[in-house]
C-alpha cells in the first residue's frame, strides 16, 4: 500500500482562487482589505515568513503594510504601534510575527490587538469563540488542515483523532476543530505515557510536536490519515523535515501530508482568508 499524497499547494490554489473575487468585490464597492504585519528585528526565518505573507497579499490585491521596529523596542512602544493600527479603519488585520525579543511581553502584545483584527486567531476572545464554536478568526494552520481534510473528502465524524502537541497555535485549536466535526479526540504531548500506543489508535493522526521524525512506524496504524505539521530544520541546517518518518507514513498510511508541500502552504492561505473575512465584516458594520 502507498499513501495518497495530500497536496497543500493544490488546496492553497483553490482557496486563493475563491478569495480573489471577494477581494475584487470589496475593492470595487468599498476599499481593498488591509493587513498590517509587524516584524521586530531581523530573525531570518521570520523575514522569510513575512515575505511570503506580503507576496500573497500582492497577488490577491490585499493592501499590506510591513512595520519593522528595531529589536531594541520596548513593550510600551510596540503597544503604541498596535494601538495606532487598531484605530485605522483601512487596516482589517494586524499580525505580530513571533517570536518577539526577550524584553517584549508577548502576552500583552497579543492581548492589545483588537479581537476583530486578530487574523491569527490567538486573542483569548477568539479562542473562547473557538471553544464555543462561534464564528471568529481561527488559528491559520489548524483551519488550513480542516480545509485540506474537507477538500480531499476525508471523513471526520465518528473517527478517532489523535493530536500530538498541545501548543496554543496548533495543538489545542486543532483538537477543538476536530471535536466540532464530531471526531473523538485525544491530545498527546511530551509527557504522555505510551505515546506510540496512543497514536496507533488514531484514524486521523496530527503530528505537531516539533521534533524531527518522532513519529515512526510504531506510531502509525495501517490505513490511518497522517497530517504532519512539523517544520524542523535538517541536520545540515537546510531543508525541512517533518515530525513524521516520511517513509513509514508513505508505506502505512492511507493518506499523508508531505513536508514540505503539505500543511505549510495552507497557513498563509488561511491568513488571507481571515483578512478578507475581517474586511467583509468591517465593511458591513461600518
Q: In this predicted model, what pLDDT tens digit does every residue of 130-153 receive, in sequence order?
A: 999 999 999 999 999 999 999 999
Does 257 lie in the same domain as 185? yes
| Catalytic one of 97, 147, 231, 277 | 97
The Cα angle at residue 208 between residues 134 and 97, in degrees rounded to 5:
70
Q: Catalytic: 120?
A: yes
Domain with 214 in it:
140-264
Does 102 lie in the same domain as 145? no
d(CA 256, CA 272): 25
Does 152 lie in the same domain as 89? no
pTM here?
0.95
Number of domains in the chain: 2
List the grid coordinates of 112.
492589545
Report pLDDT digits (tens) over 20-55: 999 999 999 999 999 999 999 988 888 988 999 999
Residue 271 region, left (φ>0) first, then alpha (ψ -120 to 50), else beta? Answer: alpha
Q: Catalytic: 53?
A: yes
Q: Give me the CATH number covering residue 88.
A: 3.40.50.10860
273: nearest Cα among 45, 9, 6, 12? 12
Does any domain span residue 93?
yes
Does 202 lie in the same domain as 152? yes
| Catalytic one of 92, 116, 120, 228 | 120
Q: Catalytic: 4?
A: no
Amino acid at each position: 500500500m502507498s499513501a495518497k499524497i495530500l497536496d497543500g499547494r493544490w488546496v492553497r490554489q483553490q482557496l486563493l482562487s475563491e478569495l480573489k473575487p471577494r477581494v475584487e468585490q470589496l475593492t470595487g464597492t468599498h476599499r481593498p482589505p488591509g493587513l498590517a504585519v509587524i516584524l521586530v528585528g531581523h530573525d531570518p526565518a521570520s523575514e522569510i515568513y513575512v515575505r511570503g505573507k506580503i507576496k500573497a497579499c500582492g497577488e490577491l490585491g490585499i493592501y499590506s503594510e510591513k512595520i519593522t521596529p528595531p529589536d531594541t523596542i520596548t513593550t510600551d512602544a510596540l503597544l503604541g504601534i498596535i494601538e495606532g493600527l487598531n484605530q485605522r479603519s483601512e487596516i482589517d488585520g494586524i499580525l505580530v510575527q513571533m517570536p518577539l525579543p526577550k524584553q517584549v511581553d508577548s502576552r500583552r502584545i497579543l492581548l492589545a490587538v483588537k479581537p476583530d483584527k486578530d487574523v491569527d486567531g490567538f486573542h483569548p476572545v477568539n479562542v473562547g469563540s473557538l471553544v464555543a464554536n462561534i464564528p471568529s478568526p481561527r488559528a491559520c494552520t489548524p483551519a488550513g488542515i480542516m480545509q485540506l481534510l474537507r477538500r480531499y473528502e476525508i471523513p471526520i465524524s465518528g473517527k478517532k483523532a489523535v493530536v500530538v502537541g498541545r501548543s496554543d497555535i496548533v495543538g489545542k485549536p486543532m483538537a477543538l476543530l476536530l471535536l466540532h466535526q464530531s471526531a473523538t479526540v485525544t491530545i498527546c504531548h511530551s509527557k504522555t505515557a505510551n505515546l506510540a500506543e496512543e497514536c496507533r489508535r488514531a484514524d486521523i493522526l496530527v503530528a505537531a510536536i516539533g521534533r524531527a521524525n518522532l513519529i515512526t512506524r510504531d506510531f502509525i496504524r495501517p490505513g490511518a490519515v497522517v497530517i504532519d505539521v512539523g517544520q524542523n530544520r535538517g541536520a545540515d541546517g537546510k531543508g525541512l523535515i517533518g515530525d513524521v518518518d516520511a517513509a513509514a507514513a508513505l508505506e502505512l498510511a492511507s493518506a499523508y501530508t508531505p513536508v514540505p508541500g503539505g500543511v505549510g502552504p495552507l497557513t498563509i492561505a488561511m491568513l488571507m482568508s481571515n483578512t478578507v473575512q475581517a474586511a467583509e465584516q468591517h465593511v458591513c458594520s461600518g
